[in-house]
Amino acid sequence: MDGAKLVLYAFLVTWSCDTGAYAIGRWLGRTRPWAAISPRKSLEGSAGGLAAAVIGAFAGAHTFMHSLGHAVAAPLDALAIGLAVGVCGQVGDLVESLLKRDSESGDSSDLIPGHGGVLDRFDSLYFGAPIVYYYLKIVVFQVP
């Protein structure tokens, strides 16, 4: 049961980043430094995603971690996880976009409307989940 909470925590932080980047990018996005890789991604959206990841990390730490029986993910840990996932998750998104550009495929599928495919739901998780895992393992739980 505790492992499931930690997995949900990784999903929450990562998908908070995705959602924040999308929402803020749609609302305020003007500066597009990665246009050659992903034309719709903006610097403003990236900042929104980073902020949303930090908020998600704090909310998830409060929701999922308190019931584990010991102090897991103190505020500084939640901040570090949010910042690391906010950066690495967006790198994962850009890497997936770059792979799609290289293969000359704009969308990997049309299974999920409004997305570039199923990969768009998981691309940032490929980079974000290991960050959460190793941070919790090494820093929080101090497992060698």
What pLDDT does residue 47 have?
Answer: 98
pTM for this predicted structure: 0.88
The domain total for the chain is: 1
What pLDDT does residue 141 have?
Answer: 85
Mean pLDDT value of segment 81-101: 90
Highest mean pLDDT among 33-42, 58-67, 124-133: 124-133
- Of the candidates 16, 18, 4, which has an alpha carbon nearest to the alpha carbon of residue 64? 4
SS3 30: coil
Mean pLDDT value of segment 129-135: 95
Mean pLDDT value of segment 88-110: 77
- Quote the domain boundaries for residue 121: 2-140
